[in-house]
């Protein structure tokens, strides 16, 4: 089976560059005035910032993305917040990039791809808080027919199970690619063919979507609900994430055009942008398939600060390194979050799937958040941007230091 290889999309550098631009600049004075204090927080959720500071940062960020849109065709929505203030929230480009009409809106829902994993891990955290899931129990307690021994929910969440990739297996063994495959089907393939593992449980790190697809199945078994219904009821609804949903393909015996509330993803071929078609793998949830907006994601971000869904003690686990430090990697992985070892207090996740690229970065110490959602895959507006920032020393330093393994 093919080993995981480094995948370093150019746009990743840009997003981190923008984050550093607004995080590493001159520190503005922070007064003791507090406009809102959450009783669940040791620090206020909103800290006074001078209006001129806010306006300056908003203008700098807006100019960056406006220039990116002009030069490369960047297409997406952006939200940057600091100390409880939304500094910039704006949409750039069009919902349908082929026709250049119908402007994007900040309440348009994008496929989050792997950024979905933070919601899957949150579902497990909620069930653990209720005493229904043990992080360190063999998952066969929840999935009795599972053929691999010694794997726990903790290992799934931190990508230390060693399991093979279900996408590779389904490419070879799922016969009718016009019929969607769901989480039960994914498990059935693992049971039937029992492909070789990458390593024994907890003996290494291997980023693998199988882990989070299995976590979604555990949520279903333990809660008695479909995964999408659980996330809607226990996460989206309590937080007022009214434009968010988990796409499911239940009842779709034969795939046709994609039916959903979110916008489409696009890929570049030749000189034209083409709309991504539906895919049989879109029936599997947990590793992807959450659709959301920058506004809703910021509500989730604020809920993490306020301890709304689970206690702070559990959230600390989510943001704690799950693997020993390896010299070949600059990052680590917690429960649904990547952790920058060389950027203190920064947690993040990126996603890439079927025409969508998504970015969610949090600097927890300084209360700064950057969310970027795009619906362009490879091509202009996605990876070709270095010509506009090549002289920036921050970008050059970032280019030599960042390494990612993304599926």
One pLDDT digit (tens) per residue for the chain, 407 residues:
444 433 334 555 556 556 655 555 444 433 333 333 333 434 445 666 778 888 888 998 898 889 888 887 888 999 999 988 899 999 998 888 877 778 899 999 999 999 999 999 999 999 999 999 999 999 999 999 999 999 999 999 999 999 999 999 999 999 999 889 999 999 999 999 999 999 999 999 999 999 999 999 999 999 999 999 999 999 999 999 999 999 988 766 554 444 456 777 776 666 677 777 778 999 999 999 999 999 999 999 999 999 999 999 999 999 999 998 654 566 899 999 999 876 668 899 988 888 888 989 998 988 899 999 988 876 444 433 333 333 332 333 333 233 333 33
pLDDT of residue 400: 29
In a domain, 230, yes or no: yes
In CATH, what number is assigned to the domain containing residue 153? Answer: 3.40.710.10
Q: Look up the domain containing 233 and give its range.
A: 10-401
pLDDT tens figures, 339-352 = 987 666 889 998 88
Count: domains in the chain: 1
The single residue of 23, 51, 114, 223 carrying the catalytic annotation is 114
In a domain, 207, yes or no: yes
In a domain, 198, yes or no: yes
334-360: b (≥16 Cβ within 10 Å) or e: bbbbbbbeebeebbbbbbbbbbbbbbb
Q: What is the token pair recorded at 326?
A: 């390896």
In a domain, 406, yes or no: no
Give the list of residues 6+ apart from residue 358 with CB closer than 8 angstroms, or none: 110, 111, 112, 113, 114, 115, 350, 351, 352, 372, 373, 374
Give the list of residues 6+ apart from residue 148 with CB closer than 8 angstroms, or none: 161, 163, 190, 197, 201
pLDDT of residue 23: 56
In a domain, 407, yes or no: no
Give the three-class secondary structure for 44: coil
pLDDT of residue 140: 98
Is the CB of residue 23 less than 8 Å from the CB of residue 61? no
pLDDT of residue 275: 76
pLDDT of residue 323: 92
Is the CB of residue 330 less than 8 Å from the CB of residue 403? yes
In a domain, 396, yes or no: yes
Clarify whether 116 is annotated catalytic: no
Is the CB of residue 147 less than 8 Å from the CB of residue 194? yes
Please provide the DSSP assignment of 350-378 as one string: EEEETTEEEEEEEETTTTEEEEEEE-B-S
In a domain, 1, yes or no: no
pLDDT of residue 131: 98
In a domain, 80, yes or no: yes
Q: How far is CA 36 from the centre of its chain?
A: 28
pLDDT of residue 387: 34
Closest to 322 in 3D by CA, of 331, 314, 332, 330: 332
User: CA–CA distance from 323 to each of 118, 137, 171, 296 (Å)?
Assistant: 17, 18, 29, 30
């Amino acid at each position: 089976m093919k080993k995981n290889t480094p995948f370093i999309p150019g746009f990743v550098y840009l997003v981190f560059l923008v984050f550093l631009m607004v995080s590493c600049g001159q520190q503005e004075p922070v007064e003791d005035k507090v406009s809102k204090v959450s009783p669940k927080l040791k620090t206020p959720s909103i800290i006074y910032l001078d209006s001129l500071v806010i306006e300056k940062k908003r203008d700098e960020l807006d100019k960056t993305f406006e220039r990116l849109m002009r030069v490369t065709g960047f297409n997406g929505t952006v939200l940057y917040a600091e100390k409880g203030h939304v500094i910039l929230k704006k949409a750039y480009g069009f919902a349908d990039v082929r026709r250049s009409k119908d402007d994007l809106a900040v309440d348009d829902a994008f496929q989050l791809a792997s950024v979905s994993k933070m919601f899957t891990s949150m579902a497990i955290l909620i069930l653990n808080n209720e005493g229904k899931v043990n992080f360190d129990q063999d998952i066969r307690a929840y999935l009795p027919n599972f053929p691999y021994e010694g794997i726990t929910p903790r290992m799934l969440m931190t990508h230390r199970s060693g399991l093979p990739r279900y996408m590779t297996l389904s490419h070879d063994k799922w016969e009718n690619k016009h019929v969607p495959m769901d989480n039960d089907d994914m498990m059935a393939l693992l049971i039937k063919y029992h492909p070789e593992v990458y390593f024994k449980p907890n003996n290494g790190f291997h980023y693998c979507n199988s882990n989070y697809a299995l976590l979604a199945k555990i949520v279903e078994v333990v809660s008695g609900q479909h995964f999408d219904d659980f996330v809607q009821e226990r996460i989206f609804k309590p937080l007022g994430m009214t434009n968010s949903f988990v796409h499911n393909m239940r009842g779709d015996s034969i795939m046709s055009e994609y039916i959903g509330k979110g916008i489409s993803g696009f890929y570049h071929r030749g000189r034209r942008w083409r709309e991504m078609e539906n895919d049989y793998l879109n029936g599997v949830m947990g590793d992807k398939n959450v659709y959301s907006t920058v506004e809703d994601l910021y509500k989730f971000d604020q809920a993490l600060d306020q301890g709304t869904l689970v206690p702070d003690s559990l959230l600390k686990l989510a943001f704690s390194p799950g693997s020993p430090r390896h010299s070949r990697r600059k990052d680590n992985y917690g429960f649904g979050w990547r952790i920058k070892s060389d950027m203190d207090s920064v947690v993040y996740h990126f996603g890439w799937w079927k025409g969508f690229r998504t970015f969610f970065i949090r600097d927890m110490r300084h209360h700064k958040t950057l969310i970027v959602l795009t619906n362009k895959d490879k091509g202009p507006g996605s990876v070709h941007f270095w010509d506009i920032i090549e002289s920036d020393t921050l970008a050059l330093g970032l280019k030599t230091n960042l390494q990612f393994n993304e599926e």
